[in-house]
């Protein structure tokens, strides 16, 4: 298998385009659906113990969806994913990042480190295909401090901070055809988004929209995150993200 550092970030190859334009202004005639997605990493439990893997110590903020959001345009099944949601009417994008993260996880956003990239998708609504921009941000988030607002949609009994290895060991929430649904699985598009973010943060920060801010933030923990991903690669948990395998996996 190729070394992790040799793999070009997946978002540069996939059909989900990479967008570098500024945040779009509110336009009632613009049919594009704007979505924000938050990635938060916790390095507080990271050690230098050679008997342990950093992949078991670094944690990722995930939420368990009990059912599709009432605002969801895709009707995804229940499953684990990154805090993600659509902007409210005329809502500022950074406010949406804070709101969605706290509403879904109960964790407040202490800092928005920077925007990583934008994923371009097209989704079907009422027999029409419309563009969807997913703006992905790196954030610092707290331990759960308040109740989950979206209790009908999110399982608040699940600890939202999940070890990195456990995230990549999860089964998928559904297969490529939308069948074999597993409410304890993870959405592949969210897992790929996380992989893309980490890969770029560690090896290609210059490709990120706010790469300099992200690079400076990650620097104290860069070696730990790189070691974690190398361990996951050695254990075969990143095989689905290789160029030859990626297209065979569900989105």
Element (H, E) at 211: helix 211-218
Q: What is the pLDDT averaged over residues 185-194?
A: 95
* Whole-Å CA distances, 86 to 7, 34, 69, 128, 251: 31, 6, 10, 18, 19
Listed range (72-76, 93-97, 199-203, 216-220) with the worst mean pLDDT: 72-76
Q: What is the pLDDT averaged over residues 196-221?
A: 97
pTM: 0.84
Domains delineated in the chain: 4-246 (3.90.79.10)
Q: What is the pLDDT of residues 70-96, one digit of tens each?
A: 555 555 688 999 999 999 989 999 999
Measured CA to CA, the distance from residue 113 to residue 91 in angstroms comes to: 19
* 41 touches 220 (CB < 8 A): no
Collapse the DSSP code of 77 into the 3-class scheme (helix H, G, I; strand E, B; otherwise coil) and give the result.
coil
Average pLDDT, the chain: 84
Phi, psi of 133 (to 5 degrees): -105, 125
Listed range (22-36, 49-63, 165-179) with the worst mean pLDDT: 22-36
Q: In degrees to the nearest 10, what's the CA dihedral of 237, 242, 247, 248?
A: -40
How high is the pLDDT of residue 191?
96
How high is the pLDDT of residue 72?
54
Q: How confident is the model at residue 53 (pLDDT cuts 50, 70, 90)?
A: very high
Q: DSSP string spanning 110-172? A: EEEEEEEEEEEEEEEETTEEEEEEEEEEEEEE-S--S--S-TTTB-TTS-SEEEHHHHHHPPB
* 116 touches 218 (CB < 8 A): no
Residue 5 reports pLDDT greater than 50? no
Q: What is the pLDDT averaged over residues 158-167?
A: 96
How high is the pLDDT of residue 245?
57
């Amino acid at each position: 298998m190729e070394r992790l550092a040799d793999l070009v970030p997946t978002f540069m190859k996939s059909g989900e385009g990479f967008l570098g334009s500024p945040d779009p202004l509110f336009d009632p005639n613009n049919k594009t659906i704007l979505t924000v997605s938050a990635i938060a990493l916790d390095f507080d439990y990271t050690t230098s113990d050679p008997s342990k893997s950093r992949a078991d110590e670094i944690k990722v903020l995930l939420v368990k969806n009990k059912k599709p959001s009432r605002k969801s345009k895709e009707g995804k099944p229940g499953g684990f994913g990154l805090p993600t949601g659509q902007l409210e009417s005329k809502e500022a994008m950074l406010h949406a990042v804070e709101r969605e993260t706290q509403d879904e996880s109960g964790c407040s956003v202490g800092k928005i480190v920077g925007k990583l990239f934008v994923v371009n998708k097209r989704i079907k609504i009422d027999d029409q295909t419309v563009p969807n921009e997913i703006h992905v941000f790196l954030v610092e988030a707290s331990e759960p401090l308040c109740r989950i607002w979206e209790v009908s949609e999110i399982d608040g009994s699940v600890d939202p901070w999940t070890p990195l290895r456990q995230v990549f060991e999860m089964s998928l929430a559904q297969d490529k055809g939308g069948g074999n649904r597993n409410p304890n699985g993870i959405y592949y598009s969210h897992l790929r988004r996380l992989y893309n973010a980490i890969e770029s943060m560690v090896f290609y920060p210059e490709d990120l929209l706010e790469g300099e801010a992200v690079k400076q933030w990650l620097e104290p923990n860069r070696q730990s995150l790189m070691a974690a991903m190398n361990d996951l690669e050695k254990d075969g948990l990143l095989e689905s993200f290789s160029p030859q395998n990626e297209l065979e996996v569900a989105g």
